[in-house]
Amino acid sequence: SEGDYDPATKTFTYTGEYEAIPGMKQKIREVIKIVDKDHHTFEWYEDRGGQEAKTMEIAYTRKK
Global pTM reads 0.86
Position 24, amino acid: M
Task: Give ∠ CA 43-7-58 in degrees, rounded to 5.
Answer: 15
49 conformational bin, left if phi > 0, alpha if psi -120 to 50, beta if neither? left
Q: Which tens digits make up the pLDDT trace of 4-39?
A: 999 999 999 999 998 888 888 899 999 999 999 999
Return the half-sphere exposure (C-beta side, CA atoms, 13 A cut-off) of residue 38. Answer: 4
Q: Which tens digits make up the pLDDT trace of 35-55?
A: 999 999 999 999 988 899 999
- pLDDT score of 49: 86
Grade residue 57 by pLDDT with cuts at 50, 70 and 90.
Answer: very high
Dihedral of CA atoms 5, 18, 57, 11 in degrees, nearest 10, equals 0
